[in-house]
């Protein structure tokens, strides 16, 4: 992320061992009563945030600029011309936040990188377009593992690499704002695939490092109290370095897990036609499959290889072996569902046109679901069920969790009205029910995180959109739990 350790913390509240009581799933869309016992024993609930969206202090204490700092200086980048210079001032609450995260009933899940590439790396070698970034990312990951690994046992390397590749290098919607015809240059037909390739290699390299240097399971057991006394008082050393990691065994046995977060909109065929069925399949493979297929099988999806051909980078034998299996778990960030129909756009070659798909929000004039505040977000709970079952079938049923899921409201909502978010509670209820049904039908899901903990800076939407379950008064930065936060707490604690 930035030049200081950027931690996206997903907070899990209370790991409770509860009996499993899953109802029979008739069909997606049938919603019943939701309770904590609806989920397997040990199922984890939490909320999510990201460093850049909450910290502020972008110009203080030696922090170097990231590509978003540069991008947001251009007028009109956000509807309200806002920046992340202050956001919700989480930086000045860091120690309080850190102490809360270290509480006994809260487990941190940390993401190393969430969109905010240091600007210096973009200036030096074009960031994710250069293979040099893999080594720099590895050094950054090593620092984080070494510094926080004694307290953090659950890691993610990168959040939504597809979004960075597609929007940073495909259409210019995200920094570094490169695309065919963009002011900063670019090539929408090649650069998204190059950036994604390096993102995958950076991810896999960090996982390899973690497994060999920190996750090592072949070390001898931790030293006993007697051994520790002997070491410090009689200089008897029982801390020989592991051959695989060149660290002491005491340091190496962090025994954590590591994975990646991938965004996944569910794409439903617009019609029952074979053409639209294939179109929806292509859309899924060009999004989730772009990253999860190499992580599962060591190579890109055949669908992509046939269409993109020579524009799609190749893995070497060694790279393929490193990428394959490079995740202990996968986080799926899911918000909504779209219709997909077959469509070939021959105007120009680009990543999005390679899909040969037209996306729509309605069928025969009927919306696919109720629209949220944002134009792109429709409430389609059954899409989550289908997304998880499809992932189960196509990618060997990986261990999964829901990394982000939520709905927004207008940024103009003020107190006290902004606290009354019944629509968000209904959204959570419906999506959690579909998650419950997916687990019942075999999806290997162990956790759910709501986006987001706070009303924070929402990238290109600035502060015009609020996803938080906690309202933040931006004049005082006082936090106020919304009705959805109280509801979420009751579900987690199994209260009436």
Catalytic residue among 55, 191, 268, 404: 404
Contact residues for 21 (Cβ-Cβ < 8 A; gap 6+)? 35, 37, 38
Chain centroid to CA 450: how far?
12
What's residue 219's pLDDT?
56
Q: What is the pLDDT of residue 34?
A: 82
407: its two tokens: 């709905």
Count of domains forming the chain = 1
Q: Tell me the pLDDT tens digit for each residue of 469-480.
A: 999 999 999 999
pLDDT of the residue at 407:
99
Per-residue pLDDT, 230: 41
**DSSP calls for 93-148:** GHHHHHHHHTSTTEEEEEEEESS--BHHHHHHH-GGGSTHHHHHHHHHHHHHHHHH
Provide the pLDDT for residue 225. 41
Whether residue 8 is predicted with pLDDT greater than 70 in this model: the reply is: no
> What does the alpha-carbon distance between residue 421 and residue 409 come to, in Å, rounded to a whole number?
8
Percent over 90 (pLDDT), the chain: 78
- For residue range 326-373, what is the model confidence (pLDDT) as tens digits? 999 999 999 999 999 999 998 899 999 999 999 999 999 999 999 999
Asked if residue 87 belongs to a domain, the reply is yes
What does the pLDDT read at residue 434? 98
Q: Is residue 16 part of a domain?
A: yes
55 is known as an active-site residue: no
Q: What is the structure's pLDDT at 12?
A: 29
Q: Environment class of residue 371 by beta-carbon count within 10 Å: exposed (0-12), middle (13-18) or buried (19+)?
A: middle
Does residue 392 carry a pLDDT above 50?
yes
When pLDDT is averaged across residues 291-313 and rounded to a whole number, the result is 99
Model pLDDT for residues 130-163, shown as the tens digit of each residue: 999 999 999 999 999 999 999 899 999 999 999 9
Q: Is residue 489 part of a domain?
A: yes
pLDDT digit string, tens, across residues 155-190 = 999 999 999 999 999 999 999 999 999 999 999 999
H or E stretch at 191: helix 191-209
User: Is 232 a domain residue?
Assistant: no
The pTM for the full model equals 0.89
Catalytic residue among 160, 191, 268, 434: 160
Look at residue 50 and tell me whether its pLDDT is greater than 80.
yes
With a cut of 90, say whether residue 251 has pLDDT above it. no
Check if 160 is active-site. Answer: yes
Instruction: Please indicate, yes or no, if residue 226 is contained in any of the structural domains.
Output: no
Average pLDDT along the chain:
89
> What residues make up the domain containing 185?
8-214+256-493
pLDDT at position 224 over 90:
no
pLDDT above 70 covers a percentage of the chain that reads 86
Q: Which of 62, 234, 65, 256 is nearest to 153 (CA)?
A: 256
Q: Which of 5, 43, 88, 27 is nearest to 456 (CA)?
A: 88
Q: Do the domain assignments include residue 1?
A: no
pLDDT of amino acid 114? 98
pLDDT recorded at residue 30 = 53
How far apart CA 342 and CA 275 sit, in angstroms, is 6
Please report which confidence band the pLDDT of residue 99 belongs to, taking 50, 70 and 90 as the band edges: confident
Q: How does residue 284 score in pLDDT terms, banded at 50, 70 and 90?
A: very high
For residue range 10-44, list pLDDT tens digits in order. Answer: 332 322 222 222 233 545 445 557 888 889 999 99
pLDDT per residue as tens digits for the range 374-388? 999 999 999 999 999
Report the pLDDT value the prediction gives residue 35, as an integer from 0 to 100: 82
CATH number of the domain encompassing residue 106: 3.20.20.80
Query: Residue 400: inside a domain, yes or no?
Result: yes
Residue 86 within a domain: yes
């Amino acid at each position: 992320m930035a030049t200081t350790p950027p931690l996206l913390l997903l907070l899990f509240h209370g790991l409770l061992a509860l009996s499993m009581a899953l109802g029979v799933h008739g069909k997606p869309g049938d919603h019943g009563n939701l309770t904590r016992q609806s989920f397997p024993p040990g199922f984890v609930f939490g909320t999510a945030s990201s460093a850049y969206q909450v910290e502020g202090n972008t110009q203080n204490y030696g922090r170097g600029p990231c590509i978003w700092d540069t991008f947001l200086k251009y007028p009109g980048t956000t509807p309200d011309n806002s920046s992340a210079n202050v956001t919700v001032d989480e930086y000045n609450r860091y120690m309080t936040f850190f102490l809360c995260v270290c509480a006994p009933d809260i487990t941190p899940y940390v993401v190393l990188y969430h969109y905010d590439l240091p600007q210096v790396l973009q200036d030096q070698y074009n960031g994710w377009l250069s293979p040099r970034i893999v080594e720099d990312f590895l050094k950054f990951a090593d620092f984080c593992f070494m510094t926080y690994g004694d307290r953090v046992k659950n890691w993610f390397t990168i959040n939504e690499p597809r979004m960075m590749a597609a929007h940073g290098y495909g259409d210019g919607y995200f920094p570094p704002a490169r695309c065919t015809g963009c002011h900063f240059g670019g090539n929408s037909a090649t650069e998204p695939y190059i950036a994604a390739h390096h993102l995958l290699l950076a991810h896999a390299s960090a996982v390899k490092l973690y497994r060999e240097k920190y996750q090592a399971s072949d070390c001898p057991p931790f030293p006993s109290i007697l051994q520790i006394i002997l070491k410090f008082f009689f200089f008897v050393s029982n801390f020989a370095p592991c051959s695989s990691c060149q660290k002491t065994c005491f340091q190496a046995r962090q025994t954590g897990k590591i994975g990646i977060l991938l965004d996944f909109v569910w794409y439903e065929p617009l019609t029952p036609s074979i053409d639209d069925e294939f179109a929806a399949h292509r859309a899924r493979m060009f999004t989730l499959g772009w990253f999860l297929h190499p992580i599962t099988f060591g190579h890109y999806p055949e669908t992509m290889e046939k269409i993109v051909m020579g524009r799609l980078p190749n893995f070497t034998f060694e790279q393929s072996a490193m990428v394959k299996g490079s995740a202990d778990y996968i986080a799926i960030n899911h918000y909504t569902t779209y219709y997909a129909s077959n469509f070939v756009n021959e105007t120009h070659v680009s990543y999005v046109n390679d899909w040969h798909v037209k996306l729509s929000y309605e069928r025969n004039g009927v919306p696919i679901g109720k629209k949220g505040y944002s134009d792109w977000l429709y409430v389609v709970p059954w899409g989550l069920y289908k997304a998880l079952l499809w992932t189960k079938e196509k990618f060997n049923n990986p261990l999964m969790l829901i990394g982000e899921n939520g709905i927004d409201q207008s940024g103009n909502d003020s107190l006290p009205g902004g606290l009354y978010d019944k629509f968000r509670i209904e959204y959570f209820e419906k999506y959690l029910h579909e998650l419950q049904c997916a687990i019942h039908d075999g999806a290997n899901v162990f956790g759910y995180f709501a986006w987001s903990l706070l009303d924070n800076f929402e990238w290109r939407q600035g502060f015009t959109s609020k996803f938080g379950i906690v309202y933040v008064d931006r004049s005082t930065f006082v936090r106020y739990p919304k009705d959805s936060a109280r509801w979420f707490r009751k579900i987690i604690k199994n209260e009436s």
